[in-house]
Amino acid sequence: MFVFVCAGCGADLTGPLSQVALPVHAHQKYGNGTQLPVLMEPGTFAVEPEPWGPPWRRWAEIDPDEAEARGIFAPVHGLSDNAPGAVVIAPGEAHGTVLNPENRGSGYCCGLDGAGGPNMACAACGQPVATRIDDCSLWQAVWLDPTAVRRLPFDGPEAPLLSWAELVKSGEGTPPFEPITRWGCRPGEEKRWSLWSPQWEAAAGRALAHLLVASDRRPVTVPDGLAAEVFQRALDSLLPAGPPSRHAVLAGPGLPALDADADILLVPAHPQTGQTWTPADSAASAYRVPLPFGVWQSMAFPEPYLPVPTSGRMPAGVLRDDYPLPPPRYHHPFQADPEIFRATLVRLPAVRTPWLREILDNLTRNMQAGIF
């Protein structure tokens, strides 16, 4: 475990925290005017290995060789010149800090979006130490500035590293849809939409980039059920039709041994280490497409009937005859997060092949066509 302290004066800025993998949706921008939950679990932190946050340089100002040296092989909107290693925590874990309301930054809408750099200072010495983000459509978080804080080991009980079997047994999947609250709804007039989960859209954005690379520009089939709902439409639209196709299958702990004809494996990434599950058998050479553990768990072991958010209550004297509840209906077919798709694809060297680069260059058109 670690505590984070102010690099300037040494004051504590957090309690003891355990490191977990950076969520794939950490930088997601979801919907319009929606209120997203807190990104990180209590008692945890994650590290962004790449530079993130202002100052940004636009793509036109960047030498492609420099981008390539940073592991980026196709155009992005911009590159951050901030220091790498920002630490993200739940806002409730930040102690000894004060908001600096003067630095609201640009792009401020319903709250703080952090675009102007650190907006929280050390309460003891006044040094800027962190960026609070709580604007609409962004995950609520505090990002500690890697140059303004120090990480110190804390002598306490370490959160145990869970085995794959223990993770499966915990049964904590990420439901494919969830209620999303519009910003500023007051209690009582709450408008709740049942939408595809932002976490699923983010997870699919990353996975789809890998699936395309793994496809080798051949049609890809994914298993029926949620995997098909999430991936098949986009794969059919972005890849040529006709045989021979490549087979993607769900693989991981608790699932039966793999078929020999599986070319691509949809596997879980460990929530604590971020490492992807690896099969022990001959299928080890198949391309492994990472899914966040909770999404993978819900895809691999779907619940027969998912909980549906309810509003209001049944009038007195009315008896329900619609139990068990039917599966929920979605407002729209599934769409993967386009920016997380882009962020993943530009970091895969295969994006330099012309057909993949074309998909990237046509991303806006693909979004207009409803694929993303």
**Contacts with Zn ion, residue ranges (CB under 5 A):** 6, 8-9, 11, 33, 109-110, 122, 124-125, 127, 136
Residue among 57 and 95 whose Cβ is closer to Zn ion: 95
Residue among 136 and 227 whose Cβ is closer to Zn ion: 136
In angstroms, give the least distance from the CB of 171 to Zn ion. 35
In angstroms, give the least distance from the CB of 344 to Zn ion. 27
Q: Are 248 and 264 in contact (CB under 8 A)?
A: yes
The distance of Cα 222 from the centroid of its chain, to the nearest Å, equals: 21
Residue among 55 and 184 whose Cβ is closer to Zn ion: 184
Residue with tokens 């978080």: 141
Q: Quote the CA–CA distance of 280 and 265 in Å, as a whole number.
A: 13
In angstroms, give the least distance from the CB of 183 to Zn ion. 5
Residue among 120 and 360 whose Cβ is closer to Zn ion: 120
Q: Quote the CA–CA distance of 141 and 204 in Å, as a whole number.
A: 22
Q: Quote the CA–CA distance of 289 and 258 in Å, as a whole number.
A: 15
In angstroms, give the least distance from the CB of 159 to Zn ion. 27
Q: Are 280 and 251 in contact (CB under 8 A)?
A: no
User: What is the number of other CB atoms lying within 10 angstroms of the CB of residue 307?
Assistant: 12
Q: Quote the CA–CA distance of 305 and 327 in Å, as a whole number.
A: 6
In angstroms, give the least distance from the CB of 129 to Zn ion. 7
Q: How close are the terminal C-alpha atoms of the chain, in Å?
A: 39
Residue among 113 and 263 whose Cβ is closer to Zn ion: 113
